[in-house]
Structures are given as C-alpha cells and as structure tokens.
Amino acid sequence: MIPTVRFAPSPTGRIHIGNARTAFFNWLFAKKRRGTFVLRFDDTDLERSKEEYAQAIEVDLAWLGIVPDLTVRQSQRFPLYHDAAARLKAADRLYPCYETADELDRRRKRQIARGLPPIYDRAALKLTDAERAELEAAGRKPHWRFQLEQRTMRWDDLVRGESRIEAASLSDPVLIREDGSYLYTLPSVVDDIDLGITHVIRGEDHVTNTAVQVQLFEALAGEGSAPIFGHHNLLTTASGEGLSKRSGALSIGSLRDAGIETLAVAALAVLTGSSESVHAVTSVDELRDLFDLSHVSRNAARFDEAELAALSARTLHGLSFEDVRDRLAAFDIAGSKAEPFWLAVRGNLGQMRDVLDWWRVVEGEIETQVEDQAFCAQAASLLPEEPWDATTWSTWSQAVKAATGRKGKALFHPLRLALTGREQGPELAQLLPLIGKIRAEARLSAPSS
C-alpha cells in the first residue's frame, strides 16, 4: 500500500523539537514508500489559531527539509464537518447534552468520592423531548456527545503492537461545543477519511483518542475504514519534562537561530528513544534508512538539550564539500579554494557561521599576533617559493627548526599565532597553502603585538 500520512499541528504556537519528531516520523515513513505527506493545520479553534503561527510552521518545516505534497486548513473545511455531524445525528450517534461545566464537575467529584470512574453517565440520553424543550426555553444551548458503542477497541499499533481499550471505560466524547465549534476529534476523522489517510502516526498522548476515532471512522465510512495507527513516545527533557508549544523552549525557530544544524535536530528528533543510538548523520536519506517505527521504544524518549550543540558540531565535521557547497557560496566562499578550505576547517567548526572567521584567515585581513619578531622574520625569510601544497608546511617548519634550533611548542606556537591570529585551529599543513606566500610573509613580518 502506498501510504498517505499527515502531520496535523494546531497553529497556536511555534513547533518544537518534539513536534518535529512527529513530523519526521510521518515524512520518513512516507518517503520510504514513495507516499504522500499532507500538512494539515488543525485550526478549528479560531480564537487560539493564528495565521502567523501557520506561516512560521511552514517555514520551520521547510528548514527541516520537509516539503508537504499538500497543505490543508481545517478552518476552510467546515461544510464537511457540518455534513458529518448531521449524519451522526441522523444515525442517533450524536446527542445533545445540557449540563454546565460546573454540573459535570460536581458529578465527577461525586463519582470519585464513591470510588467510581469519572465517566459521563449519559443522563442527557434519558431526557424527554419536553425536558429538552424546557432547557432550551430556559436559554440552555446543547453541546453534542458521540455515543460510543461499549465494546473492546483493538488495533495493531505500528509502535506499540497489539493495543486495546475498553470503550466502556471512556466518556462519550463531546464533538461539538455549546457555541457550535468543533473539538479536534470529529474534524480530524472527517479529514482523514476525505484525504485518504492510510496511516496515522502521532504521539502516544493520542492513544485514547484512537479508540473513539476508530468508532467515528466506522460510523462515517463503514467497518474497516479506520487507517493504521502508530503512537510514538514523546520527547522529554533530561529531567523528564514534556515540551510545550507555548513556552517556545526548544522551538525549531530558536534552534535555527542558535546555529544548530538541521541534520542534528533531525537526528536527535528521530533517533532519541529508539533502538538506534543518537549519532551525527550526513543526510536525511541516511535517517530514512535507519528509521523504522517498530524500533521506537515504548519507554520515554529523554534527550539532553546540551547534547544538541555537540551533535550539531559533529554533524558539521562529517559533511562533505558537496553537502555544503551551496551554503558556503551563500557566504561568498567559492572558487577553487572553497573545497580544500572546507576540508581544512570543518573539524574545527562549532557552527556553520564560524567558516567566516576561518575564511578571513585564508582570504582576508586578520589581526596578526607576532610574539617574537626576530624569530618570525627569520621564518618568513625561509618561506619556499610557490606553488605550495600539503607538504609545504613540513618542509618549511623543518627548515625553520634547522635554522633556529627551536622545536615543539616554541617552534610551532609563534608560527600559528602569526599566521592565523589564533592559538588553535585546523592543521597548518592544510591552512598554509590556502593562506599563500604573500599573506604568510606579511603576517610573519608584522610588528610585534
């Protein structure tokens, strides 16, 4: 079966790395099987949903390399939900209830006090027409509940395996609020049917919804119409806290601004809490090959925020020139030097933008640091003629050693400092040919700092 999956954020905040986990699981699942990935904005809550968040989510997904085959907004699909609600009412599966939140709350407390599970008692089902008319005349507006069939709901979960929930242990869910607005449950199922969603891959906080939603699929589209479900564990911080869209912590936007590599976010989002160890990858294809929903653990998926920067740096260290050619060009790092430059400096980068500093070392002006003017001047006079290659550094430093009698740190440290302006950095054997004779000579001959 060629799958159609969906990622269905509500645009009430920026997406975070935990949402990215769900997005990637769907994306990789579809890409592995040449399937279709739908981005669905669950924006029926017109008050809390914001267009700016929807746009930001699209930008964040694009940054993650996730390009939907189709984007839909629930706010533009209300006629479908009205139609489904009418059909459920006609089939006596959707019934009006008039309890206020306070009444329901008191009822729940009484049930708990008596040791009973706090399940809605279906009192509204027993109302007579006259009683309903009376409530409406008194100004009460109904909310609408879906009448569950009290049977065992079973499904073979792509992550959790054989799963079952007794529908009798659940309250009949409210599908429509008093003001006529829809809660998430019904629109989600209507859209999954309408868009031909074959696999619903989402966080395990939705397991209970699945029992309800399977009954809705069956009520609206017939027996066996429910998609295949997979509920993955949720990412938590190292201390076990969940991530919140509202706090903005670990949002994709903030990680991008902090210079974290996309592939590091992807690897962490996908591999944490699976049988695969979290490690740097060089492409999304590599992740796609590693990814398997059945390898996702049922335990918590904890990750350490501090790991992200290190993973990001390791990711950069492993990228080939081809991988970064366009990104370097965007920094105006191009031409014949670009590739040897990348190979020289990548292992020293914490973030991509650090290339600018190193590019100045090989191509521009830097503040040189000449510790020992006489020694550096002598070293400058020993620089060989160009062309230079990877052996030049060794030939030259041997000559300087022979001429000055210095060795070890006393030999190398002042040379590095004069040539690069820094205490540490990439191999001088690789940097020196990129710096070239004119710059090297000028830096070594600069006045003492």
Please, which residue, 159 or 333, has the CB nearer to ligand GLU?
A: 159
Q: Cis ω on the peptide bond leading into residue 384 (within 30° of 0)?
A: no
> In this chain, which of 4, 10, 348, 369 binds ligand GLU, going by CB under 6 A?
10
| Closer residue to ligand GLU, CB minimum distance, 140 or 206 | 206
Q: How far is the CB of 36 from ligand GLU (least distance, A)?
A: 16
Two structure tokens written together for 142: 């109904």
CB of 6 to ligand GLU, least distance (A): 7
Provide the 10 A C-beta neighbour count for residue 403. Answer: 13
Q: Is 99 in the site for ligand GLU (CB under 6 A)?
A: no
- Candidates 196, 201, 227; CA nearest to 214 is 227
Among 188, 312, 315, 392, contact with ligand GLU (rule: CB under 6 A): 188
User: Is the four-CA dihedral 244, 248, 250, 256 of positive or negative sign?
Assistant: positive
For the CB of residue 202, give the shortest distance to ligand GLU in the complex, in Å.
4
9: contact with ligand GLU by CB under 6 A: yes
CB of 295 to ligand GLU, least distance (A): 21
Closest separation in Å from C-beta 8 to ligand GLU: 4
Alpha carbon distances (Å) from 415 to 364, 368, 369, 438: 18, 10, 9, 15
Nearest distance in Å: CB 228, ligand GLU: 13
Beta-carbon count within 10 A of 324 CB:
20
Strand partners, 174: 145
- Identify which range of 4-12, 101-109, 163-171, 174-182 contacts ligand GLU by CB under 6 A: 4-12
For the stretch 23-48, what's the b/e string if a residue is b when 16 or more beta carbons lie within 10 angstroms of its beta carbon?
bbbbbbbbbeeebbbbbbbbbbbeee
Segment interacting with ligand GLU, rule: CB under 6 A, options 2-10, 49-57, 398-406, 429-437: 2-10
> Residue 4 or residue 348: which is nearer to ligand GLU going by CB?
4
Contact segment (CB under 6 A) with ligand GLU among 6-14, 326-334, 372-380, 430-438 equals 6-14
CB of 358 to ligand GLU, least distance (A): 42
Span interacting with ligand GLU, options 5-13, 228-236, 346-354, 377-385, rule CB under 6 A: 5-13
Q: Per rule CB under 6 A, is residue 251 in the interface with ligand GLU?
A: no
Given 8, 250, 362, 379, the residue binding ligand GLU (CB under 6 A): 8
Cβ proximity of 212 and 146 under 8 Å: yes
Size of the site for ligand GLU (CB under 6 A): 8
- Write the CB contacts of 386 (distance below 8 Å, at least 6 apart in sequence): 436, 437
Binding mask 286-305 for ligand GLU (x = CB under 6 A): --------------------
Q: How far is the CB of 52 from ligand GLU (least distance, A)?
A: 18
Strands 174-176 and 143-146: antiparallel
Q: Give CA–CA dist 338/348, Å, rounded.
A: 16
Q: Identify which of residues 184 and 341 has a Cβ nearer to ligand GLU in the complex.
A: 184
Tokens of 284: 């999304």
Residue 397 in contact with residue 418, Cβ under 8 Å?
no
Q: Give me the helix-helix angle, 321-330 and 338-345, nearest 10°.
A: 110
Please pick, from the candidates 98, 155, 184, 303, the single residue that binds ligand GLU as defined by CB under 6 A.
Answer: 184
In the bound state with ligand GLU, the residue whose beta carbon lies nearer, of 216 and 280, is 216
Min dist CB 118 to ligand GLU, Å, is: 23
Q: State the minimum distance, in angstroms, from the CB of residue 206 to ligand GLU.
A: 6
The helix-helix angle for 408-420 and 428-444 (nearest 10°) equals 70
E-only strand ranges, 32-185: 36-41, 70-73, 94-97, 143-146, 152-157, 161-166, 174-176
Residue 196 or 335 with smaller CB distance to ligand GLU: 196
Query: How far apart are the C-alpha atoms of 39 and 200, rounded to whole Å?
Result: 12
Task: Provide the pairing of β-strand 199-203 with 228-232.
Answer: parallel
Query: Is the Cβ of residue 8 or residue 159 nearer to ligand GLU in the bound state?
Result: 8
Binding to ligand GLU in span 201-240, by CB under 6 A: 202, 206
Contact 44, 182 (CB under 8 A): yes
Residues 412-444 as b or e (16 or more Cβ within 10 Å = b): eebbbbbbbbbeebbebebbbbbbebebbbebb
Q: Which stretch binds ligand GLU (CB under 6 A): 8-16, 82-90, 288-296, 359-367?
A: 8-16
Between 243 and 370, whose beta carbon lies closer to ligand GLU?
Answer: 243
Interface of this chain with ligand GLU, residues 21 to 80, rule: CB under 6 A: 42
Say if CB 7 and CB 39 are below 8 A apart.
yes
To ligand GLU, the closest distance from the beta carbon of 120 in angstroms equals 22
* Residues contributing to the site for ligand GLU (CB under 6 A): 8-10, 42, 184, 188, 202, 206
